[in-house]
């Protein structure tokens, strides 16, 4: 603060004020010095970090699964040796849809896993005729199929029950699927294929075909071919004594005199 002394000489120079330094009111005093954390705090932070990593790892394993494609049943869309990630939450939070590529446990041997495509949904009738799929009598267009199965061995008809799904491989002529073991119950589904991550050249999200409704061509009506059955021709039976010429009179049966056979007299 400044102190201005009083003076009586109005013509003289004013006296020089005296300055007394005062502490800055903004200055903070008694600031605590930085201290090194204790070992207990470091161990606690390390433990919390490890628990966070474990929780994230457990959630990732709960929500996803990793599989390797083995076989040629999904050609040309999936090759053997490819590694994929499957989203388990897809069918916990939602319903399987037609066209989804899914992984499921083989119903006849649950320790084996198959990768196929969802074709038939619960309550539908699936018909395969000349290798083409019909849903409730309407053709299912499948642009992801390169070669359709040919021959009567590929044909059949199935009724899909509640909580069941009809699974087919994209390589229809060389796929073990619902044509062999029937519809798959939902309890065997693992999840929806999500990501292909190996080999690096095949890395990317997996595409699923989407069907809103099936409005394809109607199922052809098969007209059975009538083959007349020929009428059987009656066959004339030969007489009891053996075969004879039917145009000749019957041969009379000889009559032997009494006791003739005992002495050899047969005339």
Q: Which two tokens stand for residue 186?
A: 């939902």
Buried/exposed code over 50-61 (b: 16+ C-beta within 10 A; e: otherwise) = eeeeeeeeeeee
Q: Which two tokens stand for residue 109?
A: 């041997």
Active-site residue identified among 73, 90, 175, 178: 73
Residue linked to tokens 């690096």: 200
Pairing of strands 64-68, 18-19: unpaired
**Is 38 a catalytic site residue?**
no
Indicate the SS3 state at residue 96. coil
Active-site residue identified among 38, 39, 90, 116: 116
Indicate the SS3 state at residue 63. helix
**Is 73 a catalytic site residue?**
yes
* β partners of residue 167: 118
List the catalytic residues. 73, 116
């Amino acid at each position: 603060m400044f102190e201005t002394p009083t003076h009586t000489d109005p013509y003289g120079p004013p006296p020089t004020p005296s300055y007394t330094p005062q502490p800055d009111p903004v200055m903070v005093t008694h600031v605590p010095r930085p201290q090194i954390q204790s070992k207990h705090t470091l161990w606690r932070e390390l433990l919390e970090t490890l628990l966070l990593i474990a929780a994230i790892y457990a959630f990732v394993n709960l929500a996803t699964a990793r599989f390797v494609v083995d076989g040629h049943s999904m050609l040309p869309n999936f090759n053997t040796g490819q590694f994929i990630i499957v989203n388990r939450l897809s069918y916990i939070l939602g319903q399987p849809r037609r066209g989804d590529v899914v992984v499921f446990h083989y119903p006849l041997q649950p320790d084996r896993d198959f990768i196929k495509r969802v074709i038939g949904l619960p309550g539908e009738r699936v018909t395969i005729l000349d290798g083409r799929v019909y849903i409730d009598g309407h053709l299912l267009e499948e642009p992801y199929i390169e070669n359709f199965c040919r021959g009567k061995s590929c044909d059949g008809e199935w009724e899909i029950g509640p909580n069941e799904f009809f699974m087919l491989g994209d390589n229809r002529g060389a796929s073990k699927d619902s044509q062999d073991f029937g519809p798959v119950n939902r309890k065997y589904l693992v999840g929806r294929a999500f990501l292909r991550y190996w080999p690096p050249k095949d890395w990317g999200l997996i595409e699923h075909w989407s069907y809103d409704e099936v409005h394809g061509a109607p199922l052809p009506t098969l007209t059975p071919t009538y083959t007349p059955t020929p009428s059987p021709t009656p066959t004339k039976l030969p007489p009891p004594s053996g075969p004879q010429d039917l145009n000749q009179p019957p041969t009379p049966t000889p009559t032997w005199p009494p006791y003739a056979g005992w002495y050899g007299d047969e005339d």
